[in-house]
Amino acid sequence: MKTLTCFAAILLLSLTAPGQSQKDSSADKTKPKTTPTPASSSSASAARTVVEAKDAPKPIGPYSQAIKAGEFVFCAGQTARDPITNKLIEGDVSAQTDRVLKNISAVLTAAGTDFDHVVKTTVYLKNMSDFNAMNEVYGRFFKDAPPARATVGVAALPVDALIEIEVVAMLPGK
């Protein structure tokens, strides 16, 4: 967990232009959500773009559904919220895992990628005893060459969800 957090922090710092702070409260929020990178970086990673998927639940805090940066898409953790009502669905961990992965699919599609290009997932389970049930549903979405994965048991999740999953994917053709 600390490694992934450090990696994300380093990536964000490397994507900030010289003299630009990570949070610029004076920025005009109506401008496109793109941050240029330093001139010395490759043109393949020239921008940081917010991904907004209409078919996935809206964020419930100050975060984006995903960020496209260079050749990768970094998806925020998704819980089993219904994209229309934005409320947690009812059901066991199998039903929630299915909803989470459908939400992730919508975000990946909006970013221009899919499950075949996912390279890393992190699964957060409220109850590790739900591991086998989660794994069965997860396997339906990642059939061939599944990505690297970490599964972490946690004390609680947002909106009292049973599961949350975040993914990192490559953009096709990169």
CATH of the domain at 120: 3.30.1330.40
pTM, entire model: 0.75
In a domain, 21, yes or no: no
Domain count, the chain: 1
In a domain, 25, yes or no: no
3-state secondary structure of 120: strand
In a domain, 26, yes or no: no
93/124 Cα distance (integer angstroms):
11
Give the distance from CA 47 to its chain's centroid.
Answer: 18
β-strands 34-36, 163-170: how paired? unpaired
In a domain, 23, yes or no: no
Q: Which residues pair with 4 in a beta bridge?
A: none
Could you list the residue range(s) of the whole structural domain that residue 98 is in?
2-16+32-170
In a domain, 86, yes or no: yes
The angle formed by the CA atoms of residues 142, 144 and 148, to the nearest 5 degrees, is 60
In a domain, 68, yes or no: yes
Question: pLDDT tens digits for the chain (174 residues)?
Answer: 444 444 444 444 444 444 444 433 333 333 334 444 444 444 444 689 999 999 999 999 999 999 999 999 999 999 999 999 999 999 999 999 999 999 999 999 999 999 999 999 999 999 999 999 999 999 999 999 999 999 999 999 999 999 999 999 999 986
In a domain, 48, yes or no: yes
CA atoms within 13 A on the CB side of 43: 0
Give the distance from CA 122 to its chain's centroid.
Answer: 9
72/82 Cα distance (integer angstroms):
26
In a domain, 109, yes or no: yes
